[in-house]
A and B are shown apart, each in its own frame.
Chain A
Amino acid sequence: MFLAYGWATDKIFCANLTGGKFMQSTTAEVGIQEVKPLDQLLEKIAEHKGCGTSSEGGKASCGSSGGPADMAPEVWEKVKNHPCYSEEAHHHYARMHVAVAPACNIQCNYCNRKYDCANESRPGVVSEKLMPEQAAKKVLAVASAIPQMTVLGIAGPGDPLANPAKTFKTFELIAKTAPDIKLCLSTNGLALPDHVETIKSFNVDHVTITVNMVDPEIGQHIYPWIFWKNKRITGIEAARILTERQMQGLEMLTAAGVLCKINSVMIPGINDKHLVEVNRAVKSRGAFLHNIMPLISAPEHGTVFGLNGQRGPTAQELKALQDSCEGDMNMMRHCRQCRADAVGLLGEDRSAEFTTEKIDGMTEVVYDAATRKAYQELVEAERTEKVAAKEAAMADLDVTDIKIMIAVATKGQGRVNEHFGHATEFQIYEVGSGGSKFVGHRRVDLYCQGGFGEEETLPSVVKAINDCHAVFVAKIGGCPRDELKAAGIDPVDRFAHEFIEESAITYFKEYFSRVCAREIVHQDRGDADIRQGAYIAAA
Chain B
Amino acid sequence: MAYKIIASQCTGCSACEPECPNVAIREKNGVFLIDPKKCTECLGHFDDPQCLAVCPVELTCVIDTAYPRYVVPA
For the residues of B in contact with A, the DSSP-based class is: loop
Are the CB atoms of A113 and B54 closer together than 8 Å? no
The tally of residues in B whose CB lies under 8 Å from a CB in A reads 15
Q: Kindly identify which residue among A103, A157, A158, A227 contacts B53, using a CB–CB cutoff of 8 Å.
A: A227
Are the CB atoms of B15 and A162 closer together than 8 Å? yes
Are the CB atoms of A113 and B48 closer together than 8 Å? no
Which residue on B lies nearest to A231, using beta carbons? B48
In the bound complex, residues from chain B placing their C-beta under 8 Å from that of A158 are 13, 15, 56
Q: Kindly identify which residue among A105, A114, A162, A230 contacts B48, using a CB–CB cutoff of 8 Å.
A: A230
CB within 8 Å of A: which B42-71 residues: 46-48, 50, 52-54, 56-57
Interface residues on A, range: 10 to 19
Distance in angstroms between the alpha carbons of A230 and B12 in the assembled complex = 20
Q: Knowing A113-B56, A114-B57, say if A105 contacts B50 (CB, 8 Å).
A: no
> Mask for A211-238, Cβ within 8 A of B = 1, else 0?
0000000000000000100111000000
CB within 8 Å of B: which A123-170 residues: 129, 157-158, 162-163
Are the CB atoms of B12 and A129 closer together than 8 Å? yes
CB within 8 Å of B: which A82-115 residues: 102-105, 107, 113-115
For the residues of A in contact with B, the DSSP-based class is: loop
Which residue on B lies nearest to A107, using beta carbons? B56
CB distance from B20 to the nearest CB of A (A): 11
Distance in angstroms between the alpha carbons of A104 and B56 in the assembled complex = 8
CB distance from B14 to the nearest CB of A (A): 5
Distance in angstroms between the alpha carbons of A103 and B57 in the assembled complex = 12
Are the CB atoms of A103 and B48 closer together than 8 Å? no
In the bound complex, residues from chain B placing their C-beta under 8 Å from that of A157 are 13
Are the CB atoms of A232 and B12 closer together than 8 Å? no
CB distance from B7 to the nearest CB of A (A): 14
In the bound complex, residues from chain A placing their C-beta under 8 Å from that of B57 are 113-114
* 8 A-B residue pairs with CB within 8 Å: A102-B12, A103-B14, A103-B15, A104-B13, A104-B56, A107-B56, A231-B46, A231-B48
Binding site for B on A (CB under 8 A): 102-105, 107, 113-115, 129, 157-158, 162-163, 227, 230-232
